Chains A and B, each alone.
Chain A
């Protein structure tokens, strides 16, 4: 057989494979449906790591909605916490973004910018629900530069700060008076480090963008087109952290620590203070009873008077074939009744108007969980989401690495922040 004849079947196989692949990749497209249309059709609903603990709740929710809307079927999907953004990215690129999808504002931003999410302010049916949510929560889902709101506010959270009273006491500090401002935090860390001969650090993580926000640093310009955290106040914070690191107030492994590792250090009582959530109480109770007995709970240090708030939302896909049903379902999941019911099951807070006035969130029932709940709910008033929605994971890594260089003394705090801002602004311009 000649070479050319041998090549024919080979080429046919490759061509067939290529065609198969081309068919695989031809998802997406479609202009979506009318948001004012009939509430009917089959929709998909994607949550973020909630199936393991709340399967019963969501199954009930779907069933209730389907019964109320006989023409609608809802398929619930749940994705693990790890690589959630990657999964969303793959879905969005492949044109298979779910009709209703659980997002935080920083995840919603690139999707909305690519025209993949419904602007709830522009659609009459969704805009009509705006009054049901607290203004802060609705505003939390507004995206700078895009002029709209791209997700129904769902649950809110504001993490308390845990501290080890025993370690405070040993350093001669009053366990009843945890640090409230950054100045107090640095003084406290200095003392703990000196009293323990550098064996006990106070913090296990280097400062994040939220720390810069709580310190009162201006993070971006007004229209979020450039980062500004290299302003003098930002440099001041990093300079204080550098002293903290040199004096042993910051754990040596803080430069590349993850929240999990920092939590582990606190659990092992190697650090005195660590941020967390009400979820952690169970872990402390089970894995570190001696820590649990000496556990102090307070607010994160703050120089602005406005605590940090984490916002979760439910967005509707712009290309959904059943937009009306998707909007109705997203509203149903986030309405007052369902949000309150969900917030009773897990330590989160509803974003619907009037919900937080319920005694469940205002009266301390004497339990640790109740104390965290009431303290956190109180913090929500006036809270803001400090994480700029335009800040991607890569930009957060850049900040962490430049901060590490400043802490190690390889760069001055000013130089490190200037470099972080320059690199992040370059990425921001390219996006």
Chain B
């Protein structure tokens, strides 16, 4: 084979060889399950039975399923209430620990610790703290308030789980913002300060525009994560999804209906497709909003 042709062949094949392990993993753990889910969503498959084609039956059932609407409401609420906090609070935290002050490394590590802590352990600690005779109620009672039934009320349980999600994610997004803040030219701040801009003005007019792409990224990541929330709510509200199932989220419903020996894998797959579709729409909305901002 001529050298030129050999080089051309190598050039064509080599990248694919490098990509092969990664592609195989994606195919095995993402593509194949996705295609299986897609296929099952239109059947009445169960854990131990492959099922038969039922067309849109699962989706029709879903519309009449009271639990589905509760779960959709909770997952949507999670996005609406959690995302603003996970976009803004870590940015403020990053600004606090950005400066090279003595002891700042301790605070950076402290803020990051919840990220590496096991969600199970953290959720158990929160449950103990929020119990009717727990730390939080103890403190409230010191000030003559409470006790508040955080774990017995479906709304308070959901808000408590949201607070846990925000608290646990702060450190991770803080690190993302720290990297972005390092790229904001110091001269801009100095020039603005010389022109008489205060800290708030500099934050709004310099910092925010400079880290806006990162804010979009954090918004996109956290909205997808919030919509797919499972662990925090499951661990705090219990497997029934809180009192009368009122704290059930969509992913909890997928788990509840699709697992076990009697699992309705067909119905559960249809629910998963809905989660996927909403997640996709969320991502597109965030990206579109970003593009519009850029044009402006």
Contact = CB atoms under 8 A, between A and B. Distances in A.
A86 interface: yes
Contact of A116 (B20, B48, B239): B48
A52 interface: no
Interface in B238-270: 238-245, 247, 256-257, 259-264
A114 to B, nearest CB: 4
Interface in A395-431: 397, 400-402, 404-405, 408, 410, 427, 430-431
Given A10-B16, A13-B16, A253-B152, A401 B240 contact: yes
A111 B243 contact: no
Contacts of B47: 89, 92-93, 110
Interface string B23-36: 11001100110000
B201 to A, nearest CB: 48
A114 B48 contact: yes
B23 A13 contact: yes
B19 interface: yes
B46 A431 contact: yes
B232 interface: no
B24 A253 contact: no
B47 to A, nearest CB: 4
Contact of A17 (B13, B23, B133, B239): B23
A257 B149 CA distance: 14
Given A110-B47, A114-B49, A256 B237 contact: yes
Contacts of B31: 14, 17
B188 to A, nearest CB: 44
Interface string B132-153: 1100000000000000010110
A227 to B, nearest CB: 14
Nearest to A396: B240
A366 interface: no
B256 A397 contact: yes
Contact of B13 (A9, A258, A400): A9
Contact of A258 (B28, B48, B239): B239
Interface in A10-37: 10, 12-14, 16-18, 20-21, 24
A270 B133 contact: yes
Interface string A68-88: 000000000000000101101
B243 A255 contact: yes
A18 B32 contact: yes
Contacts, number: 123
A144 interface: no
Contacts of B237: 256
A404 B243 contact: yes
A3 interface: no
A98 B256 CA distance: 25
A392 interface: yes
B36 to A, nearest CB: 9
A113 B178 CA distance: 58
Given A17-B27, A253-B152, A89 B19 contact: no
A132 B11 CA distance: 73
B133 A268 contact: yes
- Per CB-CB distance, the 6 closest pairs between chain A and chain B, nearest first, are A17-B27, A392-B262, A255-B243, A404-B244, A114-B48, A110-B261
8 contacts: A13-B23, A14-B31, A255-B243, A261-B238, A392-B261, A394-B256, A410-B244, A431-B46
Given A20-B28, A24-B28, A394-B262, 20 more contacts: A9-B12, A14-B31, A17-B28, A17-B31, A17-B32, A85-B261, A89-B47, A89-B263, A110-B261, A116-B48, A253-B152, A256-B237, A261-B238, A392-B262, A393-B256, A393-B260, A394-B260, A402-B244, A430-B46, A431-B46
Interface of B: 12-13, 16, 19-20, 23-24, 27-28, 31-32, 44, 46-49, 132-133, 149, 151-152, 157, 237-245, 247, 256-257, 259-264
